[in-house]
Structure 1
Amino acid sequence: MALALFDLDETLIAGDSASLWLEYMVAQELAPADMIAEEQAMMSLYHQGKMDMHQYMAFTLQPLAGKTRQWLDSLSTRFAEQVLRARIYPEGLARIEWHRKQGDELVLISASGEHLVAPMARMLGMDHCVAILLDEEEGMLTGQTRGTLSFREGKVARIDQLFAGDDNLWQGSFGYSDSHNDLPLLRAVSHPHAVNPAPGLRQIAAEHDWPTLDWQLNG
């Protein structure tokens, strides 16, 4: 058994779940429309490797402050079914199934919020979900995060926390991602894979002879 670590956005699905979620919230009149332009500016910094993830999360979680976890879980489950399911790459599903048949430990790991990643982990039949945790007080979301953010080096730290005590944790492990922000994770695993990689990661993958996978939606 080995770890099989899959990024979500632009790796298993076409698009970014957090950006799509904000558009969904605006369409449902649950967030102001002017948030979209600012979020896109922040995402541009993400692709340049310059994003402040704490700042991004604080901004995008504003519409959730004061909401209940139950309300959010219901809305995000509908969002996953209505928006994200159709964006899943068939080749990604096939790769997940290959690992499942090997008896590997399947982990969906993302720098998106747990409200977006958890429904997808259930949909994909993953064994574990690692995402940015949302803070709450007395049953109400605060609009803030808690714990180590699963972003860049934080992804490696969160895996170490999840499987604490396993001395052979990374031995024979697999990693799949599209982003150079995930280089710490890809360098930690035994078998890194660049999936639909951004130009920076594609170049690094070529230099290190990492497999490059170009997945597409059917049709």
Structure 2
Amino acid sequence: MNLALFDFDGTITHKAMFGDFIRFAVSRRRRLLAAPVFGPMLLGYKLGVVSGNTIRARVVNFGLRGMPADHANEMGQRFSREILPTVLRPMALERIRWHREQGDRVVVVSGALNVYLQHWCHEQGLELICSRLEVVAGKLTGRYDGLQCVGAEKSRRVREACELRHFPLVYAYGDTEEDLDMLGMAHKKYYRWREVA
């Protein structure tokens, strides 16, 4: 049995889904209130002066703070069922199928939010390591539960969950700099669906 590690956003899907989920789950009123605050931040992100971690943390705090966890879970289920199937890469699904036919252990390792990605992975029968939202007294706090699962945190969590020495081959698939640490752990690395040394 080998190990196959798949990033989600931009690798299994055609695009990043964080913003789509926020637009799906957060009320229009709250999004309108956020526009003046996040306009400059988004520009800074596009110019490379604001990190993805920073902007995601601020959006989660502003958009999801105080939302009942049950409601967030329900929105995540709907998003997984209604939206995610429209953005999946057939090539990625075929590769996941191939690994499963080989008897490999397949793990999605993503910075995406657990409130929607856990439902998709459960439906597909895939293991999941991802960014988790903190819940206190039945409501989202607007903070992450632990670190965002990007960059070095991806490889740290994989090592925590999987005994790498038990796998003859480790495959990893990613598409951004946030995946490079994870790709660095693998024997066979695919960046934007091209094998790299």
SS of the aligned residue for 2:13 comes to coil
- Residue in 1 aligned with 2:182? 185
CA distance in 2, matches of 1:71, 1:30: 17
Gaps of 5+ in 1: 197-204, 212-219
Residue 128 (structure 2) pairs with residue 129 (structure 1): yes
Residue 165 (structure 2) pairs with residue 174 (structure 1): no
Deviations 1:64-112 (A, max 9, x none): 2222222111111111222211110111111000000111111111112
TM-score scaled by length of structure 1:
0.78
Map 1:35-184 → 2, pairs under 5 A: 37=39, 40-41=42-43, 43-44=45-46, 48=48, 51=51, 53-126=53-126, 128-163=127-162, 166=163, 168-169=165-166, 171-184=168-181
Segments ≥4 residues shifted beyond 6 Å:
none
Higher-RCO chain (CA-CA 8 Å, sequence separation at least 6): 2
- Residue in 1 aligned with 2:196? 210
CA distance in 2, matches of 1:158, 1:49: 27
Letter aligned with residue 143 of structure 2: Q
Residues 41, 50 of structure 2: 8 Å contact kept: no
Residues 41, 55 of structure 2: 8 Å contact kept: no
CA distance in 2, matches of 1:7, 1:30: 32
Residues 49, 180 of structure 1: 8 Å contact kept: no
Residues 190, 196 of structure 2: 8 Å contact kept: yes
* Higher mean C-alpha deviation, range 130-139 or range 116-125: 116-125
Size of the alignment, in residue pairs? 194
Residues 25, 31 of structure 1: 8 Å contact kept: no
Gaps of 5+ in 2: none
Shift of the alpha carbon at 1:173? 0.6
- Residue in 2 aligned with 1:9? 9
Residues 113, 132 of structure 1: 8 Å contact kept: yes
Residue identity over aligned pairs, in percent, reads 21
Letter aligned with residue 210 of structure 1: V
Letter aligned with residue 59 of structure 1: V
